[in-house]
């Protein structure tokens, strides 16, 4: 099959050639709206890309060629052959010829679409959703002062022969933009090669002069930006999306007083490793000089430690940004105007929420009961949602891995997985950072604060107050303080020991174990005092052991009650 694909694709490098290889490929009507065409004839998405529909599956199995076998098939099982629906009922058409008749149906979508039989087959078809970009505020016939700026790759840009590529290029906005002051109020995609284009992110450069000729003269491979001072997400596109139209309250500042340089990032998915693809996809920015009341920002969060076992019909994973962290990331309340969840092919449902820090109330942000990777839902609210510093952000993603025989982990590839929620909010100035990730039970703030410098400072205090052989009052006081320190939880200490065991450096091992020994020296005494308090000052017998130079409290017995104290300072009744 790969040889057949490679042979075919050497003749062409863009999806339009696939349409030219079937009769009336450029004129297949949209089953929901006859005034529109279905450009991606073999795909579930109208514009192409993503999952294949029944015709696309059959087309691939037939070697991507139109012949009598393909013509006589009824791919969508609606009682009409592919040839009948595409205007070649006698199967006489060949590439370059004019079809005998106009296309009368869609070979990959069962019709009539409202029949009970076809409704069961066309589970991917959503006639109630948008079928084109619709944004009255960006309509230049209604608003002649709106201007556009296209950001796109150069014609003939090569797609590497690798499964996953993140390609970036920097752009200086044109003088018509930089000489004025605008708000970006909408974006629409300019997708050329839907066979490989998966998503686009445009980032604004908050650092003046961040981009050099190295970034602007040619494309370069990247992922999630390249830390050149262009980290502010201002525009996004994913497969199945027709564009974004922002509410009247917000805009992204460009030109004077705003962004003048942007980084364009596109994710290409090339599963057959073909070296003949090219793509000059891009995105169109709609700009108004009539600036809105607020500058907008995009914030996203989610887990980085995904591990999805194979052959699971429903496997859930949760990500969060704790209230302690949001209190540090946000300096005041913000209004969330829209949100959307992002997963890959295994994603089946997702729920993103705010958990109020004062009441525990859960406020829904984005709920996808049947997540569709090919047609992601973007939720723009009529009633904006207030988010306050100290509130917790959560997202729960459910994955169906029945199609996989090996575990799937987090990654940027289409065959890897993600679980992110993106929030569009204002004012942008309220957020110190644009992301918050969780990993192994900790979030960005916890992960960032436990640096080598922090541990060095903790060690200096520990060495000063805690001798190796005696639990002094100073050491006891410091140990109680350290037990509440987020960088010295039981898990952190265990991770510290496990990591140092892998180190070849004997001095590092010795210092780490001495750190733990000094930290543990007062734990037995602290446990006895705590039990005395809990027992109301009654008599206490404490059994302790000294093993491997680490003190562990195994049991403490109060008169009339029994409690077991484990090494993690938890009371187990």
For the chain, what percent of residues have pLDDT higher than 90? 49
pLDDT of residue 30: 86
The CATH number of the structural domain formed by 302-447 is 2.60.120.230
pLDDT class of 130 with cuts at 50, 70, 90 = low
Q: What is the mean pLDDT of residues 265-285?
A: 91
Q: Give the residue extent of every domain in the chain.
A: 2-121, 133-295, 302-447, 449-572
Shared fold status for 133-295 and 302-447? yes
pLDDT of residue 133: 84
- Residue found under tokens 């140990």: 479
Q: What is the pLDDT of residues 482-534, one digit of tens each?
A: 888 878 877 777 777 777 777 777 888 888 888 888 888 888 888 888 877 76
Q: What is the pLDDT of residues 24-54, one digit of tens each?
A: 988 898 888 776 788 889 988 877 766 789 9
Structure tokens at 125: 């078809």
Residue/partner pairs of 292-295 with CB below 8 Å, 24 or more apart: 292/183, 292/185, 292/248, 292/249, 292/250, 292/251, 293/249, 293/250, 294/249, 294/250, 294/251, 294/426, 294/427, 295/183, 295/250, 295/251, 295/252, 295/253, 295/426, 295/427, 295/428, 295/429
Q: What is the mean pLDDT of residues 380-396?
A: 96
Q: What is the pLDDT of residues 213-257, one digit of tens each?
A: 888 898 998 865 555 778 888 998 887 778 899 999 999 999 999
CB 255 within 8 A of CB 249: no
Q: What is the mean pLDDT of residues 314-336?
A: 95
Q: Which is more confidently placed, 82 or 222?
A: 82
Structure tokens at 436: 């918050």
| pLDDT at residue 86 greater than cutoff 80 | yes
Kindly report the average pLDDT of the chain as a whole number.
Answer: 84
pLDDT of residue 223: 66
pLDDT of residue 281: 94
Rg, the chain, Cα only = 30
- For residue 246, give the nearest of 133, 380, 63, 130 by alpha carbon: 380
Q: What is the pLDDT of residues 431-466, one digit of tens each?
A: 988 899 998 888 888 777 777 788 888 888 989 999
Q: What is the mean pLDDT of residues 168-176?
A: 94
**133-295 belongs to which CATH class?**
mainly beta
- Residue found under tokens 């069962």: 110
Q: Which is more confidently placed, 446 or 349?
A: 349
* Reported pTM: 0.64
SS3 content of the chain, % helix, strand, coil (to 5): 20, 30, 45
């Amino acid at each position: 099959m790969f040889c057949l694909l490679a042979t075919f694709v050497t003749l062409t490098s863009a999806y339009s050639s696939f349409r030219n290889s079937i009769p009336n490929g450029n004129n297949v009507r949209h089953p929901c709206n006859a005034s529109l065409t279905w450009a991606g004839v073999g795909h579930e998405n109208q514009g192409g890309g993503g999952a294949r529909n029944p015709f696309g599956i059959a087309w691939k199995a037939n070697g991507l060629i139109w012949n009598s076998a393909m013509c006589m098939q009824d791919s969508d099982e609606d009682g009409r052959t592919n040839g009948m629906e595409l205007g070649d009922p006698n199967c006489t058409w060949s590439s370059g010829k004019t079809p005998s008749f106009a296309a009368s149906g869609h070979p990959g979508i069962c019709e009539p679409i409202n029949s009970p039989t076809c409704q069961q087959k066309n589970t991917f078809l959503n006639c109630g959703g948008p079928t084109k970009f619709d944004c009255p505020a960006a309509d230049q016939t209604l608003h002649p002062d709106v201007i556009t700026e296209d950001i796109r790759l150069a014609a003939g840009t090569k797609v590497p022969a690798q499964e996953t590529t993140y390609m970036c290029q920097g752009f200086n906005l044109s003088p018509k933009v930089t000489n004025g002051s605008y708000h970006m109020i909408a974006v629409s995609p300019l997708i050329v090669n839907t066979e490989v284009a998966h998503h686009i992110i445009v980032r604004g450069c908050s650092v003046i002069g961040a981009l050099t000729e190295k970034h602007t003269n040619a494309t370069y491979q990247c992922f999630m930006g390249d830390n050149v001072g262009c980290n502010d997400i201002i525009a996004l596109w994913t497969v199945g999306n027709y564009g974004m139209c922002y509410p009247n309250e917000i805009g992204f500042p460009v030109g004077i007083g705003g962004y003048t340089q942007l980084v364009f990032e596109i994710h290409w998915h090339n599963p057959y490793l073909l070296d003949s693809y090219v793509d000059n996809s891009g995105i169109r920015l709609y700009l108004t000089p009539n600036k809105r009341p607020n500058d907008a920002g995009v914030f996203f969060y989610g887990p980085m430690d995904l591990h999805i076992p194979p052959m699971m019909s429903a496997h859930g994973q949760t990500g969060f940004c704790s209230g302690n962290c949001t209190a540090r990331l946000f300096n005041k309340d913000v209004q969330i105007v829209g949100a959307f969840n992002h997963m890959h092919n295994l994603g089946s449902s997702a729920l993103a929420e705010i958990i109020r820090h004062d009441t525990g109330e859960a406020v829904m942000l984005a709920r996808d009961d049947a997540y569709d990777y090919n047609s992601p839902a973007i939720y723009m609210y009529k009633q904006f949602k207030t988010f306050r510093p100290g509130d917790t952000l959560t997202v729960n993603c459910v994955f169906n891995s029945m199609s996989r025989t090996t575990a799937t982990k987090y990654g940027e590839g289409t065959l890897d997985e993600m679980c992110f929620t993106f929030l569009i909010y204002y004012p942008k100035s309220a957020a110190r950072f644009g992301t918050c990730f969780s990993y192994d039970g900790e979030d960005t703030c916890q992960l960032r604060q436990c640096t080598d410098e922090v541990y060095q400072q903790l060690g200096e205090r520990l060495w000063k107050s805690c001798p190796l052989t005696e639990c002094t009052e100073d050491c006891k006081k410091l140990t109680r303080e350290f037990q509440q320190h987020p960088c010295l939880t039981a898990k952190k200490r265990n991770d510290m020991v496990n990591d140092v065991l892998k180190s070849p450096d004997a001095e590092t091992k010795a210092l780490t174990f001495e750190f733990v020994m000094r930290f543990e020296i007062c734990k037995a005494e602290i446990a006895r005092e705590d039990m005395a308090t809990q027992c109301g000052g009654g008599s206490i017998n404490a059994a302790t052991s000294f093993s491997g130079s680490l003190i562990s409290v195994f049991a403490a017995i109060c008169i009339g009650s029994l409690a077991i104290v484990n090494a993690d300072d938890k009371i187990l009744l």
